[in-house]
């Protein structure tokens, strides 16, 4: 099984430090979710992992071989970036959908043209082949990046915000296509997203990036299971939360609500206590981890 490994990665844009001493291992055969707030460094990290963006310190290796300027390694990686209606320096993005697909067919050795065609049809975009990128809706631009990512057939495929601009039906369609392909091929996918409600059940593992560091890298369910929202009389809640890590509190008169984290043994103390303890969704876990005390906690 292949392993893509980032070690000691430091990356700055001018004086702005984006990634700091970052360590990450991606193993073949899993779907990873990459989550983090705006500016956390997600896009930069994806660029570094696929050797599309230079970095200042550290190494990225695929099965021990550095990926930078290494054609054999790069052939196994695909980063499908978000498309933009404008191109730097030239104004409107007047390239057509077919131009992007042709470029991808040249760049990715495993390119599956028949699959790309099937995906275009699935997304109802078969009539858009000749459309220029600036003439597409945001959702259709996302669909193009998804088609390229999936049809690349790259063993490690990275999608940066693939569901941005997609409506809920298209998002579900995307996740179904992703799972279908993952089950057939066993490819590794890394998907960055801000929309967590429906994504938690698709990601086997979730990587939480915060201020340029990996805050969490865990099996999604095992991470979520560590959290509870504890509500009740402030005295009871304070007493029962003593052995737990409290990540956020909200007060309403004598009613206190605490978002807590603990080991299964520590959480067992909540059973039978005169408080309500309810599980958190992945989205609420994310807010608790990355909200840095800013609201969002019920």
Partner 1 sequence: MNGALNDQSSIYLQIARMIEDDILRGIYREEEQVPSTNELARVLCINPATAGKGVNLLVDEGILYKRRGIGMFVAPGAEQQVKQKRRDAFYAAYVRPMVREAAGLGLSERDLLEMVEQATREEENA
Examine residue 23 and tell whether it contacts partner 1 (CB under 8 A).
no
Please name which of 199, 236, 187 lies closest in space to residue 34, comparing C-alpha atoms. Answer: 199
Position 30 contacts partner 1 (CB under 8 A): yes
The sign of the dihedral angle between the CA atoms of 177, 183, 81, 191 is positive
Binding part of the chain for partner 1, among 2-10, 40-48, 127-135, 193-201 by CB under 8 A, reads: 193-201
Q: Does 28 sit near partner 1 (CB under 8 A)? A: no
Q: Which of 200, 232, 248, 262 touches partner 1 (CB under 8 A)? A: 200
Q: Is 228 in the site for partner 1 (CB under 8 A)?
A: no
Task: Give the shortest CB-278-to-partner 1 separation in angstroms.
Answer: 7
Q: How many residues bind partner 1 (CB under 8 A)?
A: 25
CB of 165 to partner 1, least distance (A): 20
- Return the closest-CA partner of residue 278 out of 294, 292, 295, 298: 298
**Residue 134: count of CB within 10 angstroms of its CB:** 16
Which residues make Cβ contacts (< 8 Å) with residue 13, sequence separation at least 6? none
Helices 138-151, 97-107: axis angle to 10 degrees equals 20
- Binders of partner 1 among residues 162 to 181 (CB under 8 A) are 172, 175-176, 179-180
Distant-in-sequence, close-in-space partners of 139: CB < 8 Å, separation ≥ 6? 165, 166, 167, 170
Distance CA 18, CA 41 (A): 6
- To partner 1, the closest distance from the beta carbon of 147 in angstroms equals 19
Among 26, 74, 202, 289, binds partner 1 (CB under 8 A): 202
Torsion angle of alpha carbons 281, 202, 217, 73, nearest 10°? -160
Q: In the set 279, 292, 293, 298, which binds partner 1 (CB under 8 A)?
A: 279
Considering the rule CB under 8 A, would residue 263 count as an interface residue with partner 1?
no
Q: How many CB atoms lie within 10 A of CB 127?
A: 8
Residue 272 CB, shortest distance to partner 1, in Å, is: 8
Contact footprint for partner 1 (CB under 8 A): 30-31, 172, 175-176, 179-180, 182-183, 197-198, 200-204, 220-221, 224-225, 272, 278-279, 281-282
């Amino acid at each position: 099984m292949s392993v893509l490994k980032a070690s000691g990665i430091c990356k700055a844009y001018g004086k702005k430090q984006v990634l700091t001493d970052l360590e990450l291992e991606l193993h073949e055969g899993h779907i990873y979710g990459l989550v983090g707030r705006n500016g956390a460094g997600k896009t930069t990290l994806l660029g570094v992992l696929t050797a599309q963006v230079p970095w200042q310190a550290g190494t990225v290796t695929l099965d021990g071989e550095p990926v930078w300027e290494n054609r054999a390694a790069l052939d196994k990686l695909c980063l499908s970036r978000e498309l933009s209606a404008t191109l730097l320096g030239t104004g409107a993005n007047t390239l057509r959908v077919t131009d992007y697909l042709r470029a991808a067919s040249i760049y990715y050795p495993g390119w599956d043209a028949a699959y790309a065609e099937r995906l275009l049809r699935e997304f109802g975009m078969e009539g858009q082949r000749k459309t220029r990128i600036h003439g597409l809706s945001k959702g259709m631009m996302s669909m193009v990046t998804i088609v390229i990512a999936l049809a690349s057939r790259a063993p490690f495929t990275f999608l940066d915000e693939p569901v941005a601009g997609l409506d809920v039906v298209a998002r579900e369609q995307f996740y179904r296509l992703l799972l279908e392909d993952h089950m057939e091929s066993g490819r590794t996918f890394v998907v960055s997203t801000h929309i967590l409600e429906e994504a938690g059940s698709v990601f086997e593992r979730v990587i939480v990036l915060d201020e340029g560091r990996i805050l969490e890298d865990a099996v999604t369910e095992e991470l979520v299971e560590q959290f509870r929202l504890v509500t009740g009389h402030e005295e009871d809640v304070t007493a029962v939360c003593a052995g737990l890590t409290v990540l956020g509190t909200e007060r309403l008169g004598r009613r206190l609500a605490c978002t807590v984290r603990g080991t299964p043994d520590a959480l067992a103390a909540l059973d039978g206590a005169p408080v309500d303890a309810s599980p958190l969704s992945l989205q609420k876990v994310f807010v608790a981890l990355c909200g840095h005390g800013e609201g969002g906690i019920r």
